[in-house]
Amino acid sequence: MNFQIKTLAEWKTVVEQIIPEIKHPILLLKGNLGAGKTTFSQFLLRELGSQDEISSPTYSIVNEYDTPKGKVFHFDLYRLRSVEEAYDFGIEEYLDNCYLSIIEWPEIYMDELEAYDFHEMSITNTESGREIEFN
């Protein structure tokens, strides 16, 4: 699925179309700094029914949210220097015990993710907004 958006409000439409397509428990988010990965995650979690305060996991590495469908874990692996650091905080335990894991900056953990089914979403900044590709 491909989308082009120009306003913040259009994220809601993107999320509404993506949610029925989520068949796997992992969603990888790729894009440059400021592309909108966390903004997308906020819209997604709201649409999934989370009443929690939603913030970026940049410093905590993982945030946990409750939804009517189950736990959602939101990861930001940007600051990790090695895959061992992901093992140290127990990423596998998180991935195996939730409704959905959203992973920003998944590149350091990509080889390990080959054992899992996942979706991938890329967000690209353009002159007029964002281009989004969801697989």
Domain that holds residue 38: 2-134
CA 116 to CA 10: how far, in whole Å? Answer: 30
Domain holding 62: CATH number? 3.40.50.300
Count of structural domains, the chain: 1
Query: Model-level pTM?
Result: 0.92
Higher local confidence (pLDDT), 111 or 59: 111
CA distance linking residue 17 with residue 33, whole number of Å: 24
Confidence bin at 33 (pLDDT 50/70/90): confident
